[in-house]
Amino acid sequence: MPVHQPVIVCLRSNYSFFTPKSVKKGSHMQHLLYKLSLYFSVFFCIFISCFLLINPAIAKTQQKKLHFDSFQQYVDLALHGKALENFKEVTKDVKNNIFWKGKARRNKYQSAYKRSLPYLQTLLKNDIPDFIFLIPYLESGWRPNRGRKNSDYGYWQMVSEVVAEIKTLDHASKALKTSDANTIRSDPKLSTEAALIHIKRYYFYFRHVANFAESDAWLFSVIAYNWGAGNVKRALIKMQTEGVVKDETDLSFASFYHYLFKSSLATPEDRSMRVALEYLPNLWNIALLIQGKNS
């Protein structure tokens, strides 16, 4: 480091002053060994000083890394019985799609995770479960120009109509309000800000309007992000009209997911429903892949 260079220069210029008499009278090799030991001591002190200075920053960065530990907690709270069995079955069915590696023995989701960290680790929020940040890996592979501009586009694969609506909200940042939809969707920070606002609106509805438990509300929000809130709401209504549940008090994410599983089997031609069913299991497998787990 430049700050230490004057010290080294000083030691060089005053080498004869600091050298003991016994070394001065010795051989050239003794002079060389003493000089090397002196330089080693100086550089060792510099190294220790630098390490102590940067180590807290390293620790802070490690704390911010995405580990997706909350996913397990939410799944444990929200899924049980037949719904949990369905979730495990679908997770196993789609596992190879997530863990597959190309000719270069690289996995696109691991690559997406590594590319995203410089951005996402600065955007973590206490009011957003970390597993929400798995979504752009599945949606775009963390690519800015994935998709079509007149449809799903960008990191989080959002449509321009939703972005335009988000820009009008009071709590949207100035940068979000003054940027066009294509710029927002292809910018890592702006697209993430917009996506989180969108998902939090879903969460507010499922948690505070529909009065689901917190774990259920977040998982509903993830499904709604992919399938649309309208489809989720219609499925919940059909569950009541078809007598799947006695009344709305019996509704839960577990009963919904089991209903989604059975409905998908009954209507295999409904591709969007199948994608909705596989959405959480795909995210789950991506989390396992990133964590270095295989099951």
User: Residue 67: in which H helix or E strand, if any?
Assistant: none
What would the mean pLDDT of 185-201 be, rounded to a whole number? 97
pLDDT exceeds cutoff 50 at 8: no
Q: How far is CA 9 from CA 12, 17, 27, 38, 58, in A?
A: 5, 14, 24, 13, 31
In this structure, what DSSP letter does residue 168 have?
Answer: T
- Around Cβ 11, how many Cβ atoms within 10 Å? 16
* 68-291 CATH: 1.10.530.10
Identify which has the larger pLDDT, 126 or 97.
97
Q: Which residues of the chain does CATH 1.10.530.10 include?
A: 68-291
- Phi and psi of 158, rounded to 5°? -95, 155
Q: Please, which contacts does 103-109 make with residues 24 or more away whose CB atoms are closer than 8 Å?
A: 107/289, 108/141, 109/137, 109/138, 109/141, 109/286, 109/289, 109/290
What's the pLDDT tens digit per position in 52-95?
A: 444 444 334 344 456 678 899 999 999 999 999 999 999 999 99
Cα 78 to chain centroid, rounded: 21
Report yes or no on whether pTM surpasses 0.95.
no
Q: How far is CA 224 from CA 5, 87, 105, 209, in A?
A: 59, 17, 33, 15
What pLDDT score does 123 carry? 82
Give the pair of three-digit tokens for residue 72: 């397990």
What would the mean pLDDT of 40-50 be, rounded to a whole number? 55
What pLDDT score does 184 carry? 98
Cα 177 to chain centroid, rounded: 24
Q: How far apart are CA 221 and CA 283, in angstroms?
A: 14
E-strand spans in 114-264? none
